[in-house]
Structure formats: C-alpha cells, structure tokens
Amino acid sequence: MRAVELSADQISVLVGSLLGDGYLDETTMGYSFRLHHGIKQKDYINWKYKILSNIVNSPPKVYGTRMYFRTVSHPYLVDLRKLFYKKDRSKVIPENFLEKFLNPLSLAVWIMDDGTNELGSGKCVKINSQSFSYADNEIICKLLRNKFDLKANINKDRTYFRIRFHKESMSQLIEMVRPYILPSLFYKLSP
C-alpha cells in the first residue's frame, strides 16, 4: 500500500480535501491522510473512501454523529505535508503546486467540503476558507481567475476571510464541477 503510485484522481481528492476538511496526521512512518464528516454525509465519505481505498486499511467508521477514515502512511503525503503546512501546523496555500493540481475535481471536492450556497439576492457560492490567511485567499482568487476565468473575491466573515464567487461566474463554476458533485451535496451549488 505504501508503495502504490497515486492516480491523478486520488491526488485531486487529496488536494481538494486538504483545502477543505481533510488533514495529515503524523505517524511513526510519515503522514496519513485523515478526514471526518458528519453522518449525514455518509455517501460523501464513502465516495472518498472508494477513490482512496487502495491506500486505506479499513472502511469508514462511525463515532456518534461523525464518520471518519484514514489512509496508511504514504511517501506522497510527506510531500503534501511540506507543501500545505507551516511548522506551527497551520495550513497554507502552496501557490505553484496548486497551479498544477487545482482542477475541476479538486475544486468540486473543496466545494463539497467547505462550500455554502448563498440563497439570497447574490445567489453565489462561498468557500469557507477561513483557515487560510488573507494572503492565501488572495492567491486562491488570482488562481481561480487566471486558470479557470472564474471571478471570486475575498469576503470577511466576522474576523476571518473566505472566498466568494461572483454571480456572473456561477453558471461556469456549476458547469465545471457538476460532473463531480454528488447529488446529495448539489445544494452547495444551487438551490
């Protein structure tokens, strides 16, 4: 399992999850990828598990109202750890890496993890990127614009910042990520 070469889809799911709810746990052999979701997102966690199953020892487990699974330690995860985390364990945006690995699948995973649909007059999607700095959010907005021609800006949520897609980019965003969004999570994109 530790010698398995990861597929492009596996890397995309890992990248989208690290931008969102996933994290890397230190182990005696490096790092494993771990994620938790609420039991209501059972199909989503099972979908991630299915994609990553060749580097996972056991299926997702239920603990109360949460489900989780983790991968085995894998050399690629050591590289991701160096890219996505500072020494103080806070997440950062690895700009040059994301240029290559932010794609419709990884963006869809990030939206399924941290997206929320603003159903008011704006009818837009926000990504709860509050765990990243203002500068990191700027990098993300620039990358979304340059790579996908998606217009997004930084929206302040009390004291933290998040990504807000412009209304005029919504149809393009939906078209791009629709093939990857699970039916049970499509509400994060459209009412």
Per residue in 8-43, pLDDT (tens digit) is 999 999 999 999 989 999 999 999 999 999 999 999
Distance of alpha carbon 47 from alpha carbon 136, whole angstroms = 28
- Looking at residue 158, the DSSP 8-state letter turns out to be T
- Do 104 and 184 lie in one domain? The reply is yes
**Torsion sign (Cα): 79, 73, 10, 41:** negative
- Do 75 and 12 lie in one domain? The reply is yes
**Domain range for 81:** 8-87
Mean pLDDT of 94-112: 92
Mean pLDDT of 96-111: 93
Q: What is the pLDDT of residue 61?
A: 95
Output the average pLDDT for the chain: 91
- 123 occurs within a structural domain: yes
- Do 43 and 105 lie in one domain? The reply is no
- 94 occurs within a structural domain: no
**Is residue 93 scored above 70 in pLDDT?**
yes
Number of alpha carbons in the 13 Å side-chain half-sphere of residue 18? 28
Which one of 48, 66, 87 terminates a domain?
Answer: 87
Report pLDDT digits (tens) over 137-151.
999 999 999 999 999
- Give the strand pairing for 160-165 and 152-157: antiparallel
Query: How many helical (H) and strand (E) elements, i.e. helices and strands, does the chain have?
Result: 7, 8
Q: What is the pLDDT of residue 190?
A: 76
**Is residue 54 scored above 70 in pLDDT?**
yes
- Do 43 and 72 lie in one domain? The reply is yes
The enclosing domain of 52 has a CATH number of 3.10.28.10
pTM above 0.85, yes or no: yes
Q: Based on the structure, what is the number of domains in the chain?
A: 2
Distance of alpha carbon 191 from alpha carbon 177, whole angstroms = 16
